[in-house]
Structure 1
Amino acid sequence: MNKKGEAAPPRLHRGDIMSPETRSAVMSRIRGKGTKPELAMEAGLSARGLVFETHARDLPGRPDIVIREARVAVFVDGDFWHGRDFAKWRLKLSEKWETKIAANISRDRRNRRALRAAGWKVIRIWERQVKADTARCVRRIMRACAESSEPR
């Protein structure tokens, strides 16, 4: 049953081809910090002369890139782990993975709200956006920094 009380559609996954131990070993090697999209964004921002820090522990969600002077927090999120277009592909996952990704989405939402409530501008950039046009993503952050420094 779904949240509306309707019968849920059948799951489409066919099971994992790896043993639980092998899958666990593979998944544990996936980076949480210093990913290629993050490094590409950091290089692009550095090239523009922007001063920033990474993975600020004192902020909700430990944003990937933080520009304190402009109060801009940037999350560079992996499409799978953070559920981009989750509604389209969630039924292909096992229940365990669907629950995990749904929890990530919920946590991301809480962190975004907490940052906004504290006066931060929050920018979420998806992995595929960085791969498609890193320069455009960099311009988006630069624009947000410029807007936050304008007098109100």
Structure 2
Amino acid sequence: MTVAPTPPPDVTLDMRGTHCPAPLLGAKRIVDDLQPGQVLLLYSDCPGTPDDLFAWSRHTDNHVMRSERQPDGSHAYYIQRGRSHHPIPNAVLDLTGVVCPGPIVEAKKLLGSMAPGETLKLVSNCPGIGADIAEWVKATGFALLVTEEIGPGKFEFYLRKP
């Protein structure tokens, strides 16, 4: 059996000296910005990182290709971005902490200035935002492409202008 060589990393992130979940959170932030197929090389000496990374990769389309023990006792993890399950937004509106109906009001303003077919990523932790967004898109004709809870009560919404 021949093992395919690991592609060279496109980005390197050194998280040695940080505690979990920091290595996973750092890796997620970087991998989310990579194109499908690109590789992140993550260095971590936190003993919980392997469990975190492999659990995360099972729930995403990303792949931990290889891990290597380093001479200093840390590990190097080669993480490949999977196929994109989220559209690439043309604009990002992070309204974490803004009370409702603020996120929808601001999203409407920004979407109004965008071209047809463009996508907005709206981030909000406003209680009830999920139901509010669902009703709002029905009433306005905007398309809700993806909804993802990225933390307790914090959501990302991908909205496309018709």
Q: Which has the higher contact order (CA 8 A, sep 6+)?
A: 1
Please report the TM-score for the alignment, with normalisation by the length of structure 1. Answer: 0.26
Q: Which has the higher strand share?
A: 2
